[in-house]
Amino acid sequence: MKRKHWLAWLTAIVVLFVPTTLDLKPAPVNLRAKGEQLIAKWLPTSTTQTKSQEKSDTSDKTPIESIVQGKTLSNTYYYHFAANMPSNAKQMFEDAVATYNATGVVHLVAGEGTAKENRITFFVYSKATSTASQGMIESGHGGPKIIERTGWGAYTVNHARAGLNVKYPQMAIKKSVAVHELGHALGLDHSASLSSVMYPVDHGRSVLSKMDINALKSIYPESSR
């Protein structure tokens, strides 16, 4: 019946996104007592880790953003910069791109990409953080946006964004922040492990942990490469 044929050819587009994750980090100077308490909750008391700490860290899996779970995504992404990008912020994202490409798990290529391809837009914004007086500022935000087209010509793609808050350039225009926000864009969620680049408060970590790479591999399995 014609009607049935029509149904088979019907297509639908579903867009999934979560409000991009805001990232806080301690402000550099003049911390009030309240702020220090807040930071004490998040930051290690020492920057040197013992072997036993490293070992326990490896049991903390890096979580995956819920909207990315179970989706079949190509491991190739096209990335471009928003128009107002200062060169130093661009460089941080270029460094972050190189970090992820070095894993061999994802393949990030400069360019716009098409609607049917995975895309990442890098941007900057300027936002004063209301909690700055409590010792916390927002350093950036980023996240995936999943677009699913079903029916004829079905595809699933991620049109993600990753940004740095240039209101606080000393704190936000950093490779560690760019690596973290790009991690969100690719589908990684916050980790409780200090060795993860997805730890929610920036402490200068820009080297992907084994668990970070394993989480990436589970989003982008061998078959997608």
CB 187 → Zn ion: shortest distance, Å? 12
Secondary structure E strands in 18-152: 21-26, 76-81, 107-110, 118-125, 136-143, 145-150
Q: Is residue 181 a contact partner of residue 162, using CB atoms and an 8 Å limit?
A: yes
Q: Which residue is nearest to Zn ion (CB)?
A: 23
CB 88 → Zn ion: shortest distance, Å? 21
In the complex with Zn ion, the residue whose CB is nearer, 25 or 119, is 25
| Cα 70 from Cα 94, distance rounded (Å) | 29
In the complex with Zn ion, the residue whose CB is nearer, 23 or 65, is 23
In the complex with Zn ion, the residue whose CB is nearer, 156 or 198, is 198
In the complex with Zn ion, the residue whose CB is nearer, 147 or 185, is 185
CB 33 → Zn ion: shortest distance, Å? 26
CB 180 → Zn ion: shortest distance, Å? 6
Residue type, 72: T
| Cα 212 from Cα 66, distance rounded (Å) | 16
Binding residues for Zn ion (CB under 5 A): 21, 23
Q: Return the H-helix or E-strand segment holding 212.
A: helix 210-219
